[in-house]
Structure 1
Amino acid sequence: MKDLVVAVYDGVVLLDVAGPVQILHGSGGYRIRHASLDGRPVRTDVGVPLGADLALGELSGSIDTLLVPGYAPPDGDRPGEAYLNLLQDIGARARRVASVCTGALLLAEAGLLDGRRATTHWAACAELRSRFPRVTVEPDAIFVRDGPVATSAGVSAGIDLALALVEEDHGPDLARAVAKYMVVFLQRPGGQSQFSVRGTVPATRHPGLRRLLDAITADPAAEHTLAAMAAQVVVSERHLTRLFRREVGLTPGQYVERIRVEAAQVLLETTADGVASIARRCGLGSDETMRRTFLKVLGITPTACRQRFRTSSHPFITPKETT
């Protein structure tokens, strides 16, 4: 039995706690305790109260795993400095530290992500990157393990992380059995880019670059070569590439590719148009080029994307009317 402590607080996302705890409890391999700042119950983001077993300050000695759930991005209730100070202290004594969703920003504030790779909810990746330059953000990852610290993407990604912890601690057979029982993927296909639209791209303060980004989004199929884009911003191609890397975190080509993929996602999810037609409309060329690009950027095919996210054509089954 491994000792695992969930550090809860007022405003914590309910599923960030419940999802991983359900997986970990279901494995039978953990002693799970919930610790709040003062040892009292907390209020979750949806108003459901959540009990606590002890106060964070009562934790002494070493523990196996500290799990830090997140708050609702972008402006949900966050814990204060006293909580962060305790995270720093407890995290330094834990064998392993893990976070769910925006819990990664709390780890960063506590200094536990300095010099490490990490991920968080796609809507908070830009904030994590801009506020904490010593953290290498991987915006597409479902979860990232860097040494003794593991971070996961938004909300339900905590389930993926918990299964990875079970596999690491107790082996793949148990993790697979728990995943089957919970009816979830043991390894989710694709990254979290498939869920976001420009969510991981930070805002830029450069007016010319901002206009260019808007133009690419407005017409993904237009000629967005490096030369054409540099001419629009009135800078050299080399300087435009530096601007993109500094302000956006991508090369110009990567940004155009991502916007085209996201435009195609919208059409796949909202229209019945064929893949070849969508590829042409979004600047991705042929259906085969679009397929290769989807696999590279999202980790799934266009067909899988359409099946996964398009509104179901099957209504809920309702009782037959009686006469």
Structure 2
Amino acid sequence: MSTTPSVLLNTGVEMPIIGLGTYKLVGPEDVYQAVDAALVAGYRSIDSAAVYRNEADLGRALKELLPKHGLGREDVFITSKLGPKDQGERAIEGALQSLSQLDLGYIDLYLIHWPGTQGMDVTDQRNPGNRAQSWSTLEELHAQGKLRAIGVSNYTPAHMKELMQSCRIPPAVLQVEFHPQLCQTELRNVCQEYGVCFQSYSSLGKGELVINPVVMEVAKNCGRTPAQVLLRWAVQQGIPVLPKSSNPDRIKDNARIFDFTLSDADMDKLLALDCGHKYCWDASQVV
């Protein structure tokens, strides 16, 4: 049985504070192996997306693996995301496709993956209208119980404020890049103000931060891996993380972040690395 800590979303539902990221996890065998290892290690949250092209493989793997591990659908928290190509009037088609591919009855959390629209310039004035239309679609599917919670990913403070002024249902989660070099203070404050859960992806800085000298020094001093230190740094601030790996041993190691605590001095050392550096998508130019 998993004893993974969780965070309470504004929908009243608990979301595990650690989930398995599945970006670049492609093909039924790799998906099955990673999900199997994750469930054994105590993960009860799995993050996918339409653009990852693995929703169908994930759904099939869970149908086999949940009974194998004595679990039911209600024991896992599944996240997926609307692809940028489906932003706007195609949002209903995109969301229903995700539901169909996963074939799990409902999706626990469904996010708008990106504030822009694929094929449109970031400065295209149709972007705000498309975002609003997508959100309205997600609200409808949430009301029908098909999407248990809805949220956004890669939104800036301006995108968040725009959404909060027009939405009927506030987002439950904002999923965004976050690590010691990108502390996202303004965005975290916006989320706190609106009661939105701030969730981290790319906690390891695409693997670059595990070889950062400061991170390596902290890890050495507390007898942990640099990856565990980076993940612990986030969850110790109450921020959910989504480490991704296809390696069963690494998946297991990444989950071992609840049996140690970083000192205040170590937390501050990592915080001092903040320089606003982004390893992933930058949505700041999307109008």
Query: Structure 1 length as normaliser, TM-score?
Result: 0.26
Query: Structure 2 length as normaliser, TM-score?
Result: 0.29
